A and B are shown apart, each in its own frame.
Chain A
Amino acid sequence: MKTEKKSRMQRLFEKGEFVVTAELGPPKSLDFSVLDRKIDLLSGVVDAVNLTDNQTAIARISSIAAGLYVMKAGLEPVIQMACRDRNRLAIQADLLGACLHGITNVLCLTGDHQCMGNHPGAKHVFDIDSIQLIQIVKNMRDKGVFQNGDEIRNSKKSDLFPPYFFIGGAANPFAEPFEWRVSRLEKKIEAGIDFIQTQCIYDMDRFGQWMKEVVDRGLHKKAKIMAGITPIKSLGMARYMRDNVAGVTVPDSVIQRMEKVENVKEEGIKFAVEQIRQFREMEGIAGVHIMAIEWEDAVKGMVESSGLLPRPKVS
């Protein structure tokens, strides 16, 4: 049985298009009006949206359920799957379920520690880690087997029925040990990722260094690399990201630039657009992933000013 059904995102990459995705956090309650608004803001502006999975360890509507919702509204979902809350049984079950409903873009993550969220007394799972998860998803797709080696079919007599996925991962070029970060990406590629989205980038020099090594090792040819962007909305936010968010670096030059202007929002977007333009020129970058947290109204302007609208069509 062939269940291969390539996502729009995958087909765009294959056509050589510069792909644009955005982050979309599922709401905490069944009041979907916020999500409806965000869907409106992002429709036709990005190629797919990431539905986060209990992001920062805060309980929300599940990524797959929210993914189905946005899909009905015409947006393509990338569902995030973190290792913190589910063991290998639950993960494989959820992945099959996602595929059943036509969701194939999966972003495999380790997941933030539960102490970062609102249920610090929860027990984390971490039965597997993100690299093992990537390998499991790849084997489900390519070999038609579960993690234990059993074939994915209903009975011995029925057809092998592997699910289809476009497999993503995250990379943080700014976490430490810095020298290890490209090797970690390589490990994820070896495990089976098709695309990666990076942590949000402010330090263009350090990112450039990382990217150069990625290209030198030829890794950009093995997986599509999407540069992560979070536009700066306020000085407070920039400082907070610099001081409190593990794995995010905000250079002083960026802070100083924001300090100098009256309208930080405007300057933040301007900086993001400059970044996108640079990414488009950089060798090895196949797209951008925009994480405009609670600032989805900014996305359209950013994409437009970067010369990326209208989004290309795929048949």
Chain B
Amino acid sequence: MIIAEQKPVNEILKNIPENSRLLIVGCDTCVTVCLAGGEKEVAVLSSVISMSDKKMKSIEGTSIERQCDKEFLSEIKDRVSECDIILSMACGVGVQMMSDYYNGKIVLPALNTLFMGSNEETGYWLERCLGCGDCSLDITGGICPKTRCSKGLMNGPCGGSEGGKCEVDPENLDCGWNLIYNRLKELNRLDTMAAIQPPRDWSKSHDGGPRRIIREDLLL
């Protein structure tokens, strides 16, 4: 899922003009699960803003199923018509979809969208995939080298791996390649680690314009 966290309140407030009619919109999907932009967070942010120095004409709050889907955006038409500013608590995709859909309104982001990842334990989220477009989990025992290794190396651990930790943060960060090594060893597949992986084809990754998928079979 997509993991995000709330921007500092001062940064959010900075861009909202005084005396606006504000509509804060949460999203019920990823950001609800990662406790950054669901219904609960909308309520909390509403009261934080109402208690701040910045005076608003009105503050309304709501949340919809998925901001990244047009289908659900239409549900809040009436409420949008009565506001000046939409403060979206969705991920970057949701904010953009909201902006596109209600293109006459100023839509501001309340979150910083960080990564695609997992909830490891309460209060701890971890990046798991960069969306590289060329998945290599088959040769790395189901652990992503591009994400979990700080340098995105493809041919095994660098010289900075010590005690299972990465040179980037030897206290807290696991060395991705150490994890991969242990997993492959367990699976009796260390031979895949011995094979030289050729340079990556970055054209499959984000390297020029948004990537698109066009499925002729599904186009109307």
**Chain A contact residues, CB within 8 Å of chain B:** 83-84, 88, 110-113, 115-116, 124, 126-132, 135-136, 147, 170-172, 174-177, 180, 183-184, 186-187, 190-191, 199, 246-247
Contacts and interface: CB of A to CB of B under 8 A. Distances in A.
Contacts of B199: 88, 127-128, 132, 136, 147
Interface of B: 150-164, 167-168, 170, 175, 178, 181-182, 190, 193-194, 196-200, 202
Contact of A132 (B154, B181, B202): B154
Contacts of A172: 159
Nearest to B164: A176
A301 B76 CA distance: 80
A184 B178 CA distance: 13
Given A127-B199, A132-B198, A246-B162, A177 B155 contact: no
Nearest to A186: B194
Contact of B161 (A127, A136, A171, A246): A246
A107 to B, nearest CB: 13
Contacts of B159: 110, 170-172, 175, 199, 246-247
Contacts of A126: 151-153
B155 A129 contact: yes
Which has the most chain A C-beta neighbours within 10 Å: B158, B182, B194?
B158
A241 to B, nearest CB: 12
B196 A187 contact: yes
Given A131-B156, A175-B162, A176-B175, 15 more contacts: A83-B151, A88-B199, A113-B160, A124-B151, A129-B154, A131-B196, A131-B197, A175-B157, A175-B158, A176-B161, A180-B156, A187-B155, A199-B159, A246-B167, A247-B159
Contacts of B160: 112-113, 175, 246-247
A177 B178 contact: yes
A147 B162 CA distance: 32
Nearest to B159: A172
Given A113-B167, A113-B168, A180-B156, A129 B151 contact: yes
Contacts of B190: 183
B203 to A, nearest CB: 12
Chain A CB within 10 Å — which of B150, B162, B198, B202 has the most?
B162
B197 to A, nearest CB: 8
A129 B176 CA distance: 15
